[in-house]
Amino acid sequence: MPTKTWISNVPSTWSTAASWAGGVPVAGDDVVFTGTNNGQCTITVATATILSLVTTGYTGNLIVNTRLTVGGNVTLSASNNISGTSDITISTNSTIISAGAIIGCILRFSTINTTIQLADDMILSRGLTALGTPAGSIALRSDVPTNQRRLTLVNNGNTTQYIDYLNLTDINSIGLSPYGGCTLWTYKGTVSNCQNWFVMATQPPGVSGVSIG
């Protein structure tokens, strides 16, 4: 698959062809940010769809103001800043390596019957959205069975994160202090070998989501 590498050392936008080696990324491209070119990248295009995202070594800001859909793995750098008003959508079976980076835009899992693996601890400051249906769910688990990963949802002033139809395995949830966990409201969903998840097997009609604290 083609690789598109960010080459700007000044603030620029995702849709600026001159800021990329190989041109603006399109669906099927692997996108790489390196420590060589650290200019801020702002996503404002109506549609940004790529195969994979790597920001290893990148110390700049990735601002996700419109949806970035990733159809593969995500590998982040602890030294770069991810923020924005929109979301990174993971649309297929994927592994996420966050390297301690705080993901400051919404992380969204969009496709039922997929598995998202965490290769390390993950911190989300704007929330998690998992979109399932009564016919299917999404599995969130550690990439190493029985090796728990910590998922921290930082309080951002909202009390509800919509993560219906989510099966959890080996995930230690850290939520708003002093409660230290999350309540999973779902018609479908299981929790296995996890800590600090409070599961509600049923829910009132019309209520969905996960409540922090």
Token pair listed for 155:
């309080």
Overall pTM > 0.85? yes
pLDDT tens string 11-45:
999 999 999 999 999 999 999 999 999 999 999 99
Domain residue spans in the chain? 3-157+167-179
By CB neighbour count within 10 A (0-12 exposed, 13-18 middle, 19+ buried), where does 85 fall?
A: exposed
Sheet with 3-6: list strands edge to edge: 20-21, 3-6, 30-32, 52-54, 74-75, 94-97, 115-118, 138-142, 166-169, 191-192
Angstrom distance (rounded) from CA 42 to CA 50: 15
pLDDT tens string 95-151:
999 998 999 999 999 998 999 999 999 999 888 888 877 778 899 999 999 999 999
